């Protein structure tokens, strides 16, 4: 039934969108080719979905991306055709009132030409996102000021990556470029904020040696994300699921990453220190709530400067920003910025993610505390990124007050 509803919806959109093409060319072979492409696109998606058992990886991801590219383009056409039909309807009504009988004018070619031109924008953007954008790594630099930052850490530089999702990668050279870009930042410490894999620890087998090269003077610290627990696949037994998680934890250690499981560490410099607190995943709604902030911060002095690693930014909104421990800076990921949006620095920042998460990308400040939501290093489900590029965050800590 769900497939019938999906196909019916797609075909309705398709038939209506075809009016734009038909107003420019009424040849039967043009129409035949148009609907043949539709059937191939839908048929491939249904076939890949059924073959993958409903999973959203490898071939099914690309099939979904192609469907999305065509669907967004045709929705643009539908908007224009519907708008034109409204105008045609009222013109026909006005003629009927004038006594000449109802007769709507024909479609205008220039409207269809404009519609087709604009429809090409999302179509090309999605295809670019699938083949280029998903590896278009960006370094985003921030400077944050804190009055109580220990003097020894004034100018301290941290790097953050999140949401690797190694099971989605398909280009070793491009991923290696992103890893090298991270290393080129030469920061004092590196933090990874969860979702190393999509579901299974084995996804890191071919990438473990590459990510093992990620080093920093004061170490690499990591936490788990919701996908790391293997909750989204069926396991033959609970023992298999537990073994998968144990194997993933071991992978962090094998790469030289210090995995924090509701615990903390200290970074010391010239007799001063800051606390690095890491919680397991704590997400709003139905997401896993294994994070224990009280346990992770136990024995950390209230006066210590604290950086919290917590995968899901919902945790910051619901538990962290008002916590008595006063966590100065929280580093999160999880949202991916939905891998789709528009960002023009200083002018526009939009993604559908904003309707789900109050903090969905970049730096936010509330209660004199900061959170950085990393847009993610990898990708999931849709095998691409459009407007929201893979990110390496570099944050410099400064003592004092931010300049006006």
Average pLDDT over residues 5-23: 90
* CA neighbor of 303 nearest in space, from 275, 340, 268: 275
What are the backbone dihedrals phi and psi of residue 119, each rounded to the nearest 5 degrees, phi first?
Answer: -65, -25
Q: Is the pLDDT of residue 397 over 50?
A: yes
> How many other CB atoms are found less than 10 A from the CB of residue 254?
14
CA-to-CA distance for 331 and 371, rounded, in angstroms?
6
Whether residue 298 is contained in a domain is answered as yes
Q: Please give the pLDDT value at position 47.
A: 85
CA atoms within 13 A on the CB side of 163: 29
DSSP state of 285: T
Residue 324 and residue 213 share a domain: yes
Residue 212 and residue 297 share a domain: yes
Whether residue 287 is contained in a domain is answered as yes
pLDDT band at 191 (very low <50, low <70, confident <90, very high): very high
pLDDT band at 395 (very low <50, low <70, confident <90, very high): very high
Whether residue 404 is contained in a domain is answered as no
CATH number at residue 302: 3.60.21.10
Q: Please give the pLDDT value at position 58.
A: 65
- State the total domains in the chain: 2
Expressed as residue numbers, the domain containing 7 is: 3-132
Global pTM value: 0.91
Instruction: Give the residue from 96, 113, 132 where a domain finishes.
Output: 132
Whether residue 189 is contained in a domain is answered as yes
Cβ neighbourhood burial of 332 (10 Å; 0-12, 13-18, 19+)? buried
Cβ neighbourhood burial of 79 (10 Å; 0-12, 13-18, 19+)? middle
Residue 9 and residue 150 share a domain: no
CA-to-CA distance for 145 and 163, rounded, in angstroms?
26
In 162-282, at which residue ranges do the beta strands (DSSP E only) sit?
A: 189-193, 220-223, 257-259, 263-269, 272-278
Instruction: Give the residue from 132, 147, 173 where a domain finishes.
Output: 132
pLDDT band at 61 (very low <50, low <70, confident <90, very high): confident
CA angle 219, 222, 226 (to 5 degrees): 170
Whether residue 111 is contained in a domain is answered as yes
Measured torsion, CA atoms of residues 246, 215, 302, 395, in degrees rounded to the nearest 10:
-120
Average pLDDT over residues 339-365: 95
Average pLDDT over residues 60-64: 86
Whether residue 16 is contained in a domain is answered as yes
Q: Please give the pLDDT value at position 52.
A: 65
Residue 81 and residue 153 share a domain: no
pLDDT band at 8 (very low <50, low <70, confident <90, very high): confident
- pLDDT digit string, tens, across residues 237-276: 999 999 999 999 999 999 999 999 999 999 999 999 999 9
Beta strand pairing call for 220-223 and 369-373: unpaired
Residue 167 and residue 75 share a domain: no
Q: Is the pLDDT of residue 56 over 60?
A: no
In terms of phi and psi (left: phi > 0; alpha: psi -120 to 50; beta: otherwise), the region of 241 is: alpha
Q: What is the DSSP string of 291-335?
A: --HHHHTTT--TTSEEEEE-S-THHIIIIITT-TT--SEEEE--S
Residue 308 and residue 243 share a domain: yes
Residue 246 and residue 115 share a domain: no
Q: Is the pLDDT of residue 54 over 50?
A: no
Q: Is the pLDDT of residue 142 over 80?
A: yes
Average pLDDT over residues 347-366: 96
Cβ neighbourhood burial of 354 (10 Å; 0-12, 13-18, 19+)? middle
Average pLDDT over residues 209-237: 97
**What average pLDDT does the structure give for the chain?**
94
Q: Is the pLDDT of residue 57 over 70?
A: no
- Enumerate the H helices of 23-108 as residue ranges: 28-51, 59-97
Residue 148 and residue 70 share a domain: no
CA-to-CA distance for 279 and 114, rounded, in angstroms?
52
* Stated length of the chain: 404
Q: Are 195 and 334 in contact (CB under 8 A)?
A: yes
Instruction: Give the residue from 106, 132, 158 where a domain finishes.
Output: 132
Of 57-71, 205-219, 225-239, 257-271, where does mean pLDDT reach its minimum? 57-71
CA-to-CA distance for 385 and 376, rounded, in angstroms?
10
Of 12-26, 260-274, 292-306, where does mean pLDDT reach its minimum? 12-26
């Amino acid at each position: 039934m769900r497939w019938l509803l999906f196909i019916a919806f797609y075909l309705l959109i398709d038939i209506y969108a075809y009016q734009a093409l038909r107003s420019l060319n009424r040849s039967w072979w043009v129409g035949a080719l148009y609907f043949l492409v539709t059937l191939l696109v839908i048929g491939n998606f249904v076939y890949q979905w059924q073959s993958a058992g409903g999973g959203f990886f490898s071939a099914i991801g690309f099939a979904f991306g192609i469907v999305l590219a065509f669907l967004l383009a045709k929705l643009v056409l539908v908007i224009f055709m519907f708008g034109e039909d409204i105008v045609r309807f009222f013109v026909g009504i006005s003629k009927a009132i004038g006594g000449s009988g109802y007769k709507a004018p024909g479609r205008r070619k220039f409207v269809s030409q404009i519609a087709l031109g604009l429809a090409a924008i999302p179509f090309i953007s999605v295809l670019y996102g699938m083949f280029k954008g998903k590896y278009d790594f960006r370094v985003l630099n921030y400077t944050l000021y804190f009055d109580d930052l220990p003097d020894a850490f004034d100018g301290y530089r941290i790097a953050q990556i999140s949401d690797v999702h190694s099971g989605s990668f398909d280009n070793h050279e491009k991923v290696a470029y992103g890893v090298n870009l991270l290393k080129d930042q030469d920061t004092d410490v590196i933090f990874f904020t969860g979702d190393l894999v999509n579901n299974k620890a084995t996804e890191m087998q071919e990438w473990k040696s590459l990510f093992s090269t990620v080093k920093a003077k004061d170490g690499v610290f990591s936490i788990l994300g919701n996908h790391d627990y293997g909750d989204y696949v069926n396991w033959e037994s609970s023992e298999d699921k537990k073994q998968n998680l144990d194997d993933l934890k071991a992978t962090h250690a094998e790469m030289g990453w210090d995995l924090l499981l509701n615990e903390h560490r200290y970074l010391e410099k010239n007799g001063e220190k800051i606390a690095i607190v890491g919680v397991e995943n704590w997400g709003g709604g139905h997401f896993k709530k294994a994070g224990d902030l009280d346990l992770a911060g136990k024995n950390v002095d209230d006066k210590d400067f604290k950086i919290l690693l917590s995968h899901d930014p919902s945790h910051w909104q619901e538990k962290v920003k008002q916590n008595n421990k006063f966590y100065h800076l929280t580093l999160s990921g999880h949202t991916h910025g939905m891998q789709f949006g528009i960002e023009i620095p200083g002018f526009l920042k939009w993604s559908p993610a904003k309707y789900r998460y109050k903090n969905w990308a970049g730096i936010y400040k509330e209660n004199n505390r900061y959170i950085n939501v990393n847009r993610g290093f990898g990708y999931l489900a849709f095998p691409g990124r459009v407007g929201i590029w893979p990110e390496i965050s570099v944050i410099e800590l400064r003592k004092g007050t931010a300049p006006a």
